[in-house]
Structure 1
């Protein structure tokens, strides 16, 4: 099982890796920069080398970066749209230097323009940024459907991917809380949901999982993560999900509202139930 939490990189990538290992994780997710801003620290060459060394020594699995929430590639505001493209391009360059495998992106909110216009703007932005020379794969995250979000149905995500020129550089991050909140019943009809995903997008595009329980009920269209086993999805359904043949080898990233001590308990709980 490849599993890890979201960890801050404010003290460097080496320390983030040590924090992950200290709680029994073998991977982790991190924000590329301030999640609600634009500031970013310059890469430290010594820290990078120590990070590369510990990754190799401890065999840390594929890592996932997360683009900040301030990026909205579906925005109707030109300055916000341009800002998002600048941030994403800079972050892809940095992540390539760090040898990070995946980067996750919230598709964006159309702010009243409509889903189709939002999809067109997202795809146009990605086509202006993605290049074949980068090793990092960009993942479009499944969303919950709050507000004017784009990407809360499998059809919307497929529509974005269809418009991407370099399709091999794009995949999907499957967020269990978001999918459940969007109306896909992974508790009672998991096989149906996965079959639908496969028919519309293709399971080969599902690269990683955001593993979260949900504070809100099915089809609530609310983005409220919960600790594993404490929400409306529940432990049994989560175990059933991650042991499904289509999912069992995918990297799992916890975004539950918890500190490292609770993440340690979540990881142990899931390993005990699944391994």
Structure 2
């Protein structure tokens, strides 16, 4: 099944997001676990979750993705910053155990001149403190563009984190097409080679989701500016190759393009028309 969706506002609850997804032709969606700039999460609405489960089952909606707020930095230099990340992510994971068929994605963080090695160690340390053996939710590291002192700018850094966690079977990767392109991986001209490199370093079995975005910037710019599909430097031809690649086509795709709902509906329809099942 072609799983395609976009980022939706969680302010009105899961049932509302599911209905909105269906209205725009989506069969999955991504949402922030709380305000993307941080803050306390709303209390879980058990009735809303139950209603969502029923609606999702009836309408074929699944494999949704929760996104951690941008403000967390699991490898922050200041202990208070790291503690905020630890507390927020632990709370998110406890809450997500109540949401069926949902994975948890987060940006690894910025080492703030401490060095990538220190950053990697700190991120793995936070994950080892907040994850537990019986948890159902898979945690995804997102590929980053390499802006500033971001950790996760290449596949090697992500693998270093994965190699240090206690529960690697509960971890995976979310590949952002804009981020890897801006990070220097030519998925536009050399998709096969990039995927071979990912498989050699991390393993394609660890790839669990795709953020499908075009890029305003050129290859290797390390700037991370998303663009609407086909309007950027990644190109629509490359995006069509990505959604149809045998190693990727069974994964869920989540749009984070600079769009309103009408724009997302257009892009979803365009992708469905280009999909070869």
TM-score range, shorter chain: over 0.9
Alignment of 1:128 onto 2:129: yes
Q: CA deviation at 1:24?
A: 0.4
TM-score, with length taken from structure 1: 0.99
Aligned partner of residue 52 in structure 1, secondary structure: helix
Residues 41-88 of structure 1 deviation map (CA, whole Å, 9 limit, x = unaligned): 101122111111111111212010000011100101100100100000
Pairs within 5 Å for 1:58-97: 58-97=59-98
Flag structure 1 segments of 5+ consecutive residues without an equivalent: none
Partner SS, residue 97 of structure 1: coil
The equivalent of 2:23 in structure 1 is: 22
Which residue number corresponds to residue 184 of structure 1?
185
Shift in Å, 1:243: 0.6
Q: Show structure 1 runs of 4+ deviating over 3 A.
A: none
State the aligned residue count.
275
Q: C-alpha separation between the residues in 1 aligned to 2:21 and 2:48?
A: 16
CA deviation digits over 1:111-146, x for unaligned, max 9?
A: 010000000000000011111211110000000000
5 Å-filtered alignment, 1:1-275, equals: 1-275=2-276
Question: Does the 8 Å CA contact 1:14/1:47 hold for their aligned counterparts?
Answer: yes
Tell me the TM-score normalised to structure 2 length: 0.98
8 A contact 1:210–1:252 mirrored in 2: yes
2:62·2:101 contact (CA, 8 Å) conserved in 1? Answer: no
The whole-number CA distance in structure 2 between the counterparts of 1:100 and 1:199 is: 28
* CA apart distance, 1:9: 0.8
SS at the partner of 2:192? Answer: helix
SS state of the match for residue 183, structure 1? coil
8 Å CA contact retained: 1:143, 1:152: yes
Q: 1:161-200 deviations in whole A, cap 9, x for unaligned? A: 0001110010000000000000000011111100000000
Task: Verify the 8 A CA contact 1:5 1:254 in the aligned structure 2.
Answer: yes
